[in-house]
Chain A
Amino acid sequence: MSIQRLLLSLYPRVWRARYEDEFLELLERRPLSISDGIDMLLGAIDAHLHPQLGTSEMPLREKMAYLSRSLRGSLLTGFCAYVGFVLAGCGFQKLNESHEFLAFESISPFVGTSFHLIVMSAVVSLFAVFAGGLPIVITIIKCAFTQKRGSPFLLLAVPFLALGLYIGSILLMTHRGGDRLPWPLGGLIVFGGIVLVAIVSTIAVCVAVVRSSVSGKLLRFAVLPSSIATAAMALVLLATIFWSLGLQHEAPYLLAGNAGIMRSSTMGTLLRIIAMMALSTGLALSSLWRAASLRSLLLRNASS
């Protein structure tokens, strides 16, 4: 595959269906320079952020259905980003369990304030996700009752079942002397188990949403709580960075040890947590941008 085709494959499917032939014809006219390659990359990002591009020749009904599906996809991507963010947050919480951290937060105004900001913003983001997600979940359950389908119930029950299975396994393992397992294995089971529960639960919820008929009105409504959740995630990320910088400045000995996840270095764990928060927030922001763009288009078409 030529580099031109490889770069073109980064564009959304609908965009390529409309412009691929003529775009390739243009690219084949002269050698692709590095600046052209970067320009194409930026163009691909832009096309993903504006999924309405390339739909001008679609029949209106098909276009609206496509834009609605894109909005649903953007919201679900934001939800997945949120789950990733929560996992990172769990890592941060685990790190913070040490009484040394807690004691320092109570005596340092800067670090203490940062920590409180993290907690408050995390609660706000959780409520926002519930506010946006609960009406959708209720709709899925209503549809399932109306259509007498059992699979949506099963899919929505997966997170509870997975969590129950995980907790049950940990308790059983502890009861049977699991705390005597060699540390990498024990740590991997605990840590890996949480990640697996999160992945399985997220997939199940996403499949339940995709397979149900959630109205455009509900999807458009969900953009607002999604904005609040994303803003709160960004605030948590910033506060975590400030918390880390404060700690590094005022009590560097706390970050010097090996109190991280699976006995890794504390600083290394903290950096990985921040990196994961940053990636999740970035993904949530780009999904929100896309969702907001689609929402305004769908509203405009609904009113015209």
Chain B
Amino acid sequence: MDGSHGGRFSEPSLLILASLAGGAKHGYAIMDDIETFAGTRLGPGTLYGAIARLEESGLIEAQPAEERRRPYRLTVAGIASLREQLASMEAFTALGMRRLASL
């Protein structure tokens, strides 16, 4: 899965996918969850720009609205994309740690 879906929002997209891996959430809950696990607070424009891109790419899907809130969840393609991206990061992290160990 290439990163071109994200554009300016590629890192927020990954954070949102990781947040939704913990269960379906609406926008504000995603924002809060990301702030908790990543220490990053996404602005509302950035958050919904990334949500729109992920939805357009078929990686997340909207659930029926609860009052004015609309929860999102990962699709099968979204799970595969997140798995692939995290595996790449894991390999990169392992390589970096090995090289650091030799310094």
Contact = CB atoms under 8 A, between A and B. Distances in A.
Interface of A: 15, 18-19, 21-27, 29, 35-36, 38-44, 46-47, 50, 52-57
A27 B44 contact: yes
A47 B52 contact: yes
Contact of B52 (A36, A41, A53): A53
Interface string B53-67: 101100000100101
B43 A22 contact: no
A39 B43 contact: yes
Contact of A53 (B8, B27, B56, B67): B56
With a 10 A CB-CB cut-off, give which of A18, A29, A47, A56 has the most chain B CB atoms: A56
A22 B26 contact: yes
Interface in B37-84: 43-49, 51-53, 55-56, 62, 65, 67-70
Given A22-B70, A23-B27, A39 B46 contact: yes
Contacts of B65: 21-22
A36 B53 contact: no
Nearest to A32: B44
5 contacts: A19-B52, A22-B26, A25-B67, A43-B43, A57-B62
B35 to A, nearest CB: 12
A36 B8 contact: no
B62 A36 contact: no
Interface residues of B, number: 24
Given A15-B52, A21-B65, 9 more contacts: A19-B48, A21-B70, A26-B44, A27-B44, A36-B43, A39-B46, A40-B44, A46-B7, A53-B49
Contacts of A44: 45
Interface in B16-35: 26-28, 31
Nearest to B45: A43
Given A22-B68, A26-B28, A55 B45 contact: no
Contacts of A43: 43-46, 48-49
A29 B28 contact: yes
B28 A46 contact: no
A24 B51 CA distance: 15
A23 B26 CA distance: 10
Nearest to B67: A25
Nearest to A42: B45
Given A39-B44, A40-B43, A40-B44, A21 B68 contact: yes
Nearest to A18: B52
Contacts of B43: 35-36, 38-40, 43
Contacts of A55: 56
A161 B51 CA distance: 50
A25 B27 CA distance: 9
Contact of A52 (B44, B45, B51, B56): B56
Contacts of B49: 43, 46-47, 53
A42 B28 CA distance: 19
A42 B9 CA distance: 12
Contacts of B69: 22, 25
Nearest to A57: B62
A53 B47 CA distance: 13
B8 A26 contact: no
B10 to A, nearest CB: 13
A36 B51 CA distance: 17
A39 B7 CA distance: 15
A26 B45 contact: no
Residue picked from A23, A24, A42, most chain B C-beta under 10 Å:
A23
Contacts of B52: 15, 18-19, 47, 53-54, 56
B45 A22 contact: no
B56 A22 contact: no
